[in-house]
Amino acid sequence: MGRAAEDAALCHLEGAGLDLITRNYRIRAGEIDLIMSDTNTLVFIEVRYRRNTRFGTGLESVTAAKTARIVRTASAYLQTPRQSDRNCRFDIVSITGKPGSFEVDWIRNAFNA
């Protein structure tokens, strides 16, 4: 289900004009679901899936610890060639529902580093 939610998020973001750079960037410190380009901005995207909101939304499930892991992982990515001089932001895409009827909530600049 997580892969289907991530696919839905990617489709939504590409439809909004973002370009995929990489999926599931992973290092020892953590993982970033999607790294995309929005014009001149590098966008680090956390995709959160919830079948329903009975226990909270995907956005509400992003803890301070998760945010810190994303920031550490993004910092490592920014150390790679040709990335350190780019503007960046952190977005969250919250997916709710079932495949075929996903509700997508895209939060730009969800947090700052």
Place of tokens 């939060």: 107
Q: What is the pLDDT of residue 58?
A: 67
CA torsion, ordered 39, 43, 47, 52, to nearest 10 deg: -60
CATH topology of domain 2-111: Trna Endonuclease; Chain: A, domain 1 (3.40.1350)
**CA–CA distances in Å: residue 48 to residues 20, 61, 67, 83, 86:** 18, 8, 13, 25, 25
Return the bridge partners of 107, or none: 92
Q: How many helices (H) and strands (E) does the chain have?
A: 2, 5
Chunk the chain into consecutive blocks of 10 residues (it has 113) and report each block's average pLDDT, rounded to whole numbers. Answer: 86 96 94 94 92 70 88 91 80 86 90 81
